Amino acid sequence: MLDESDQPLFINILTVSNHPPYFTPDSYTPGPVDVSAEYQARAGGGEIELDNILKTFQYAADSLGRFIGDVKASDKLADNTVIAATGDHQMRRFEARLPEESMLDSAVPFTCGYQTVFSTAGSSAMTANGSAPIKTLCRHCTT
């Protein structure tokens, strides 16, 4: 779709891999997952569910990485594409120590990458509201 377009496109992709029941496709072979004792103590849901959560997170990250790699490898798209990625909630099943880790308890990660669209490098941020950076990005992309 991207390679065939000759006009600007806005594409929104929603995945639910990082939500219950935490399963990856049969075609995906996850790498080893090493869980620290501290993470295990602070994570709820039991050992099997924790392992599945981390494997689905790995799957989602690998899929996003492949997508970004495909865009970068495209002669047409590499310099003409803005990719923004965010989550729909904070890190679930993880007990934050309040108040010093309150950002972990309510923040939503946001990252933005681009080559030359704005003639600067990409950026990354943590926000309490994942929609704010998307709205700002959309304003820049439509000017």
pLDDT digits (tens, 9 = 90+) for 57-76: 899 989 988 988 888 888 88
Is residue 10 a part of any domain in this protein?
Answer: no
Structure tokens at 116: 């030359």
Structural domain harbouring 95: 37-141
- Residue 108 forms beta bridges with which residues? 127
pLDDT at 4: 79
Total domain count, the chain: 1
| CA diameter of the chain | 52
Rounded to an integer, the average pLDDT of 91-120 is 69
Compute the mean pLDDT over every residue in the chain, rounded to the nearest whole number.
Answer: 75
Is residue 86 a part of any domain in this protein?
Answer: yes
Is residue 70 a part of any domain in this protein?
Answer: yes
Is residue 75 a part of any domain in this protein?
Answer: yes
* Residues 2, 77 contacting (CB under 8 angstroms): yes
pLDDT at 26: 94
Task: Please state the pTM of the whole predicted model.
Answer: 0.71
Is residue 26 a part of any domain in this protein?
Answer: no
Higher pLDDT, 123 or 78: 78
Q: Which residues contact 48 (CB under 8 A, 6 or more apart)?
A: none
Predicted confidence (pLDDT) per residue in 4-30, tens digit: 777 877 888 888 888 888 889 999 999
Q: Binning pLDDT at 50, 70 and 90, where does residue 121 land?
A: very low
b/e 16-52 (16+ beta carbons within 10 angstroms → b): ebbeeebebeeeeeeeeeeeeeeeeeebeeeeeebeb
Q: Binning pLDDT at 50, 70 and 90, where does residue 140 land?
A: low
pLDDT at 115: 62
Is residue 84 a part of any domain in this protein?
Answer: yes
Is residue 76 a part of any domain in this protein?
Answer: yes
Is residue 25 a part of any domain in this protein?
Answer: no
Residue (of 27, 33, 34, 46) closest to 93 by Cα position: 46
